[in-house]
Structure 1
Amino acid sequence: MTAELVRGQNHPLSQARLEIRISAGTPIVAVAALGDENGRIHGAEWVAHPGAPTQPGLEVPRQAAADHRLAVDLDAVPEAVHRVSVLLALPVGGTGPVRFGAVAAPFVAVTGLDGGEVASYTITGLEAESAVVALELYRRQGAWKVRAVGQGYAGGLAELLTDQQLPQAHQLAGSINDAVSQGLARSVQAPPPRTADGDRSRQAAAPALGPDQGGTAPQPGPVPPVSPYGGLTPGGPGQPAPQQPSYPGSAPDPDAVTQPSAPTAGGPIDYSHPRRQNAAPPPPPPTAPPAAPGQPAQPVAGDATGWSMEERLYNQVWGMFEDLARTTAAYRSAVDFAESRMDKELEQVLSDPRSRIGGQGDAAREAARARHTQLVAQAREALDRDLAQLAAEADVVEPALPPAYARWDNPAWHAYRVPMEIPMALRLGDLHLPEADRIRIPMLVRLPLERGLWIDSGAAGSSDGSFTDSPTMSRLAMETAVAHAARLLAVYPAGEFTVHVIDPAGSGAQPLAPLVQTGVLAAPPVPGAAGVADVLGRLTQRVDLVQMAVRGGAADSLPPGFDTSQQLLIVNDFPHGFDDRAVNQLRYLADEGPAFGVHLMMVADREQSSGYGPLLDPLWRSLLRLTPVADDHLADPWVGHAWTYEPSLVPPGSQVLQQVLSQVATARTKFT
């Protein structure tokens, strides 16, 4: 029976191998620390954190996320350890909340490897604190117990670790924050949560505020720790039931999910639609025909809640992403459990002298292997059932996607017309896992872009093990950048998106030909160091001007004829033609540009750019790294699966890119 703890209460633990599941109202950092009989942490080697995720008996996630799973093996911790403390902290230097009082109360559960919950604790009463000791597992008279602590620290991780008597607490806190910042550059943002009835809807999501809108967006909220696939049920202990969802008509941000009952840093959540204050409730999503008895319902495109088909499809795609992440996690966990159980049984057989007499040992080993095979087969059967349902859903969703969400080979592009409104999101590629290679989940990102992109042109091994040389990778990277830029131009209304290109050595002439020949660029690609300085100077000056106007409350006083469209700068062949001043300008555009309508797309080899050292690191971390070939460098925000990313490229021989860009150029001419 589950023990729901309150602060200070303890509960005995009957298992040594445990999982600690954490669900919070925003992406948080999870740390586990080992302490002696007095609770003292002797050094950094006693702490498992994103920069060093494993310690004896401990394993923690490598990144900040709204959901975490920590693995604990109490039999494997050193004899000197008498306490295992679970520490939670808000990331430093991000755009999220800076205190726990601004988000939903974090929920922590201790479970067995079979998923059975042993004890849970909802950490209430936090206000200005940005770090908290959630709970501790402690050894008492040879037995282990769990205690709900809930001790918060307004000074963050540094103050918390100092209070735990850790030498060099500030240095360790700094290294943890650095590791989290680096992890942000390789993380897929969290998609929306589910409602209690399984609808994929966004709850109290934040509107996409432009530089002339102001306001404070609600902060992220917890994603339910379970999914309707894989035999798991929606919702989780300690999580309030979802209330009526609200979804903004502007671009949704997968990181801006908010638990309905949670206050935010900007005050109470406004559940009204930002563009439909007096509108009626959203229309119901399409319903599937009744399923045959004992059979799953037939999937329908757009079966999630939303104000329009575009919104419903967006929610459905992210729901599929969550489903695949969680059902795969359940399968992997079941396989790990089967293997650990078999290892334990085989170890018992080997340690029993009686098993060496006759055939008892062989029979016991065969029985252990048979149980392992049976458990794995059961897990695979459940996974295959879930994957079949997801595959059927993907088959009906993909053809129904609008151009902004669709692959380039989707017929939606053949019926393309320049839109009148900005869509919610943009497809940057596909994501898939090795257990479900046939299922491709569209990778959708919010519009306007909140982060720039780094298209890595370095020589790398693709997911199938083949090697691509540097010249080929450079060409593929530039083709990928052109495909992304063309898609951005295509989904914005005429005159509302402008593309600039820096190509110092002219090496990108061939991939850039579609943009140049159709006339959609603001000006021809700029060569040479002088061209680099000119373009960067004009764009940084533009950001400065808009920033001063907005912050001074005079957004309507910009000079006559000022180009208010979103600006994209594509940088090829970095660092060729760049000096330290130019690199600092790039960093400025990456940090400040997105909020004021200037976005950055770097096409560069990270290794070749390493000569700039620490000067380049902040730029690298602030951009989302994508690759021109399939590569498993992205992680989901729940269990940290290594997802294989594949860029969205134009099929060889297809003329769809030229046709779309020609329409964009024609519409732009009419607009001007």
Structure 2
Amino acid sequence: MIRLVAGQNLPWSELRVTAYLDDPAVSVCALLLGDGYRVRSAEDLVDDQRRHRSGVEWLAGPPAGITIDLTAVDADVERILFVAGAATHRPVTVRLLAASGDVLADFEPVIPAGSVVVLTEVYRRDGGWKVRAVGQAYAGGLTQALAAHGVVAPRPTVQPPSVQAPMGQPSAAAAERTYEDLLRQNRMILEDASRTTASLEATRDFARRRWEADLERVVGDPSLRVGERGDRARHEAQQRHQQMLREAEDRHRADLEHLQRELSVFESDLPAPLARWAQPVWAGWRPSDRLHQGFRVGELALPDAPMFAMPFLLALPMGRPLWIEIDNSDEVATLVLRTAAARVLVATAAALTRVSVIDIGGRRGALGIPDELLHGPPAVDAAGAQAVLAELVDHLELLGTALASGSVDVLDPRHQADRLVLVTDLPTGLDEVTLRHLITVIEHGPRLGVHLMVTGTHAESLNLPLLEWLRTFFLRVTSVPGGDLVDGFGGVEWTFLPDAGPSDPRVLDEVLGRLAASRTDPQSLRRRT
């Protein structure tokens, strides 16, 4: 038996899969999803009110569970989710059984009180099926979980006491997918792309070694070294090698085409801070009172399939500050920095984020950030940089104390806004005192709404031990395509493609202009709690 962890998948060659929980206090149901992680209709919920649907059957128990006849699942059903909820906090064990009744795998998630959790999913891949341990919780209960997968008007139903029934039309906010939901789907597409690419690479390596072995056998046989039989043996070895490569590449291409369809739907679901600039969500964009939990910093592409590009998303608050390498051009790195800053400002528009710019020498000015968004004029010399960072350290101390005492409301409004710090060409012009202030911002800023992004070069940091140590705190990305990154799934190398803004630079100017125009009412400042 295999013990699964969240995110792990497992090929499923059986014709049936049964998932159950041996816990009478837990209520279960199943969701049948089509393209884009969406139900085809509200009828795709299988529970005690509708016990059968497209090969999926609800089991009353004990033990409660679902069983799926994989041969009877409709062709347009891409995946089936096993969902459970409980009134109290409960660690549970999910068991996955074959048709014989043998337990082939299990998974031990936790169901938070009053929540529902997507425990596992069964999904199509490579003409077969896989199962995946998920463990995604929805604090809003079944209503939120259903809305996240497209059930906007579920049928009236009486749910078990531990799971509140969804009634009527959920609000627009409830129907929007959570950042955790989007991040999970992004990670799953990345994992599947990684594993199919790793399989291709492994097949290529095996095919090469087999071809070499076949040729060695031909060379080692005196009767085959020359003549028609030897030529035929070498030709057959080459044919086997090429056929193996063709079949592997065809499978890989088909997998990526399938994932590309998933990715296209996924991209259309992304809110503005996470979306490509060409997506309709940017057309006529206006600041809203919704805080977003992440932003897009670029894309990840496969060297063998450059048209397949995954979004590279970072969470907010940023767990690690962002370092953009000055690779070939300071101008390009500055553009990537400005674009990332604009996305963070869009994501945190409701927090009325104020921007501090440190640009020693003053060549870049305010990076095109409108005055209405700035906390103060850009710092253009060492003294100004030290003053900006010292003020930020004071801000963190003041805000931290106010939060601890519950007295944030009495703070000056400028201390209630989030802050974004942009530093160009690090470490130019920064002394040790200033760098230590920067370390304080890195250590304490994220939990208090202070975000940091810089441009810099590694070469300039040589012979500065403090800066060498400082760089380890950053997530470092390139400002030009490159910077190969290795994923943790199949160990595949991806090429990072930085987001340098929309093809029409006026779009970015318009976005920043709308943000600036929204700063006319200081009373609209979001209060911290």
Structure 2: which amino acid aligns with 1:483? T
Contact 1:431 1:645 in 2 (8 A): yes
* Structure 2 SS opposite 1:451: coil
Separation in structure 1 between the aligned mates of residue 202 and residue 149 of structure 2, nearest angstrom: 34
Structure 2 length normalisation: TM-score?
0.67
Equivalent in the alignment of 1:605: 457
Equivalent in the alignment of 2:429: 577
Gap change, CA 1:349 and 1:639, over 3 Å in 2:
same
Matches within 5 A, 1:440-451: 440-451=309-320
Separation in structure 2 between the aligned mates of residue 336 and residue 307 of structure 1, nearest angstrom: 48
Once the two structures are TM-superposed, the CA of residue 382 in structure 1 deviates from its matched residue by 0.7
Equivalent in the alignment of 2:334: 478
Contact 2:355 2:375 in 1 (8 A): yes
Gap change, CA 1:519 and 1:279, over 3 Å in 2:
same
Equivalent in the alignment of 1:371: 240
Equivalent in the alignment of 1:515: 369
Structure 1: which amino acid aligns with 2:212? D
Separation in structure 1 between the aligned mates of residue 437 and residue 184 of structure 2, nearest angstrom: 37
Separation in structure 2 between the aligned mates of residue 200 and residue 595 of structure 1, nearest angstrom: 34
Contact 1:425 1:444 in 2 (8 A): yes
Equivalent in the alignment of 2:28: none
Separation in structure 2 between the aligned mates of residue 388 and residue 423 of structure 1, nearest angstrom: 30
For residues 191-221 of structure 1, what are the alpha-carbon distances to aligned partners after superposition, in whole Å with 9 as ceiling and x for unaligned? xxxxx946699x99xxxxxxxxxxxx9xxxx
- Aligned with residue 476 of structure 2, among 625, 630, 644: 625
Structure 2: which amino acid aligns with 1:627? T
Separation in structure 2 between the aligned mates of residue 410 and residue 200 of structure 1, nearest angstrom: 32
5+ long unaligned stretches in structure 2: 14-77, 87-111, 113-118, 152-172, 524-529
Matches within 5 A, 1:427-442: 427-442=296-311
Equivalent in the alignment of 1:362: 231
Structure 1: which amino acid aligns with 2:516? A
Separation in structure 1 between the aligned mates of residue 264 and residue 398 of structure 2, nearest angstrom: 47
Contact 1:200 1:315 in 2 (8 A): no
Equivalent in the alignment of 2:137: 246
Matches within 5 A, 1:477-556: 477-509=333-365, 512-516=366-370, 519-548=372-401, 553-556=404-407
TM-align CA RMSD: 3.6
- Aligned with residue 285 of structure 1, among 149, 152, 162: 149
Gap change, CA 1:286 and 1:308, over 3 Å in 2:
closer
Separation in structure 2 between the aligned mates of residue 355 and residue 235 of structure 1, nearest angstrom: 49
Structure 2: which amino acid aligns with 1:586? L
Gap change, CA 1:555 and 1:383, over 3 Å in 2:
same
Equivalent in the alignment of 1:336: 205
Structure 2: which amino acid aligns with 1:596? L
Contact 1:500 1:569 in 2 (8 A): yes
For residues 349-371 of structure 1, what are the alpha-carbon distances to aligned partners after superposition, in whole Å with 9 as ceiling and x for unaligned? 32333433643333222222111
Separation in structure 2 between the aligned mates of residue 654 and residue 320 of structure 1, nearest angstrom: 31
* Structure 2 SS opposite 1:655: helix
- % identity of equivalent residues: 30
Separation in structure 1 between the aligned mates of residue 416 and residue 358 of structure 2, nearest angstrom: 21
Structure 1 length normalisation: TM-score?
0.54
Contact 2:423 2:454 in 1 (8 A): yes
* Structure 2 SS opposite 1:427: strand
Equivalent in the alignment of 2:279: 410
Once the two structures are TM-superposed, the CA of residue 286 in structure 1 deviates from its matched residue by 4.3
Contact 1:495 1:668 in 2 (8 A): no
Separation in structure 2 between the aligned mates of residue 280 and residue 661 of structure 1, nearest angstrom: 33
Contact 1:629 1:647 in 2 (8 A): yes
Gap change, CA 1:278 and 1:606, over 3 Å in 2:
same
Equivalent in the alignment of 1:464: none
Count of paired positions: 403
Once the two structures are TM-superposed, the CA of residue 556 in structure 1 deviates from its matched residue by 3.0
- Aligned with residue 634 of structure 1, among 470, 477, 485: 485
Separation in structure 2 between the aligned mates of residue 662 and residue 581 of structure 1, nearest angstrom: 35
Matched, 1:346 2:202: no
Once the two structures are TM-superposed, the CA of residue 538 in structure 1 deviates from its matched residue by 1.2
Once the two structures are TM-superposed, the CA of residue 348 in structure 1 deviates from its matched residue by 2.6
* Structure 2 SS opposite 1:489: helix
Once the two structures are TM-superposed, the CA of residue 436 in structure 1 deviates from its matched residue by 1.7
Structure 2: which amino acid aligns with 1:664? L
For residues 45-97 of structure 1, what are the alpha-carbon distances to aligned partners after superposition, in whole Å with 9 as ceiling and x for unaligned? xxxxxxxxxxxxxxxxxxxxx98xxxxxxxxxxxxxxxxxxxxxxxxxxxxxx
Structure 1: which amino acid aligns with 2:420? L
Once the two structures are TM-superposed, the CA of residue 619 in structure 1 deviates from its matched residue by 2.0
Separation in structure 1 between the aligned mates of residue 150 and residue 267 of structure 2, nearest angstrom: 16
Separation in structure 2 between the aligned mates of residue 384 and residue 568 of structure 1, nearest angstrom: 42
Contact 2:393 2:441 in 1 (8 A): yes
Equivalent in the alignment of 2:131: 235
Gap change, CA 1:382 and 1:623, over 3 Å in 2:
same
Once the two structures are TM-superposed, the CA of residue 601 in structure 1 deviates from its matched residue by 0.7
Separation in structure 2 between the aligned mates of residue 620 and residue 225 of structure 1, nearest angstrom: 40
Separation in structure 2 between the aligned mates of residue 414 and residue 617 of structure 1, nearest angstrom: 42
Contact 2:79 2:121 in 1 (8 A): no
- Aligned with residue 615 of structure 1, among 435, 450, 466: 466
Separation in structure 1 between the aligned mates of residue 321 and residue 507 of structure 2, nearest angstrom: 25
Matched, 1:589 2:441: yes
